[in-house]
Amino acid sequence: MMSARDFEYKQIAFAFINNGEKISFKNDNIVVTDSEGKIKHQSTCYRLFIIFICGDYCLTTGLLERSKKFGFSIVFMSPNLRITTMLPSKAEGNVMLRKKQYNYEKTDVAAHVISNKIHNQGAVLKRQRKKSEEEKKVIEKLQQFEKEVLKPDLSGQEIMGIEGISARLYFKSMFSDYEWKSRQPRTKRDITNTLLDIGYTILFNIVNALLEMYGFDVYVGILHTQFFHRKSLVCDLEEPFRPIIDAAILKSLNLGQVSEKDFWKNQNQFILPWKNSKKYVGIILEAIMEYKNEIFIYLQSYYRAFMRDKTAEEFPIFDMEEE
């Protein structure tokens, strides 16, 4: 399996087909060129971890063959950055891992994961230079919830309840300067929610690709409800990393990088046209790449802990607390 050192050199590529970009191969190199033929991305296929293809694209046998040979995943996205299909590069036949997944019925690891998420939410809020008394109270409450969710024998529903209360407090404080109302996934009711959806989608597929690499059944989670076609494990293990996206969106808002002119409104939904998506993908991807190696090490450590039947306290922690 891939080592942390190997992953350090792996790359993530985006191709915006509707912007006139093209994908080609030269020997064992992948080349993405813009509408003018200038090279936007070029790397050996050995270093490619995942490629996102945005827009209409005819899948070629050449791309599929190289994906299998060099072990990179392919994600197809619509022009408005909605996932249509993912072709993961995955480990086949990890029977022992899947047996452990199917027989696992505890909630202690789930509580550990959510506690980690709440910790990182508090860490992101602490970064704000000027904090009101109300914001300080929110940070204190998150610190309480971070510990409370670790109480023994909590049900999955109780864990999600604590997570939900924490999230409401966190988002209200995080985006208080931008007319925040509530987190409403996929409704696109405002620009902030729309950008969060895009960021979480990109992050989701990177986490998905890493979990597939170890042979996990990504539909079998430890916390989120399992139902048809829902990748519950990816939903679960994406949680500690979500504040990466939150912080990136807030930073771009504060820097004035987000413009309402980049969006168009249709029936109370804010839609990001494909011609403006490249800018925001760049902002989000830059933030994820800053923590790329830490994300890999976390999921690698999770796999090892799960296979060795470690206690919840021995599972990894992804810490965004600034030293």
**Domain at 183, CATH number:** 1.20.120.920
Clarify whether residues 181 and 244 are in a common domain.
yes
Q: Is the dihedral of CA 104, 108, 113, 117 positive or negative?
A: positive
Clarify whether residues 99 and 48 are in a common domain.
no
Q: Residue 323 falls within a domain, yes or no?
A: no
Q: Residue 319 falls within a domain, yes or no?
A: no
Q: Residue 36 falls within a domain, yes or no?
A: yes
Clarify whether residues 214 and 79 are in a common domain.
no
- The answer on pLDDT for 322 being more than 70 is no
Give how many domains the chain has, as a whole number: 2
Residue 37 to residue 15: CA distance in whole angstroms: 13
Nearest to residue 249, comparing CAs of 214, 219, 208, 283?
Answer: 283
pLDDT tens, residue by residue, 223-236: 987 787 789 999 99
Give the model's pLDDT for residue 228. Answer: 78
Clarify whether residues 54 and 157 are in a common domain.
no
- The answer on pLDDT for 105 being more than 60 is yes
- The answer on pLDDT for 255 being more than 70 is yes
Give the model's pLDDT for residue 56. Answer: 87
Tokens at 259, concatenated: 């413009």
Tokens at 113, concatenated: 């994961």
Q: Where are the beta strands (DSSP E) in 148-243?
A: none
Determine the angle formed by the axes of helices 108-126 and 242-254, rounding to 10 degrees. Answer: 20
- % of the chain at pLDDT higher than 90: 78
Clarify whether residues 181 and 206 are in a common domain.
yes
Clarify whether residues 117 and 35 are in a common domain.
no
* Domain edge (last residue) among 59, 87, 115: 87
* Domain edge (last residue) among 69, 87, 105: 87
Tokens at 44, concatenated: 């050996």
Model confidence at 266, pLDDT cuts 50, 70, 90, reads confident
- This prediction has a pTM of 0.93
* Domain edge (last residue) among 87, 118, 134: 87
Give the model's pLDDT for residue 287. Answer: 97
Cβ 182 vs Cβ 174: under 8 Å: no
Tokens at 85, concatenated: 């299909």
Tokens at 70, concatenated: 């060099």
Q: Residue 54 falls within a domain, yes or no?
A: yes
Pairing of strands 73-77, 83-87: antiparallel
Domain housing 149? 95-314
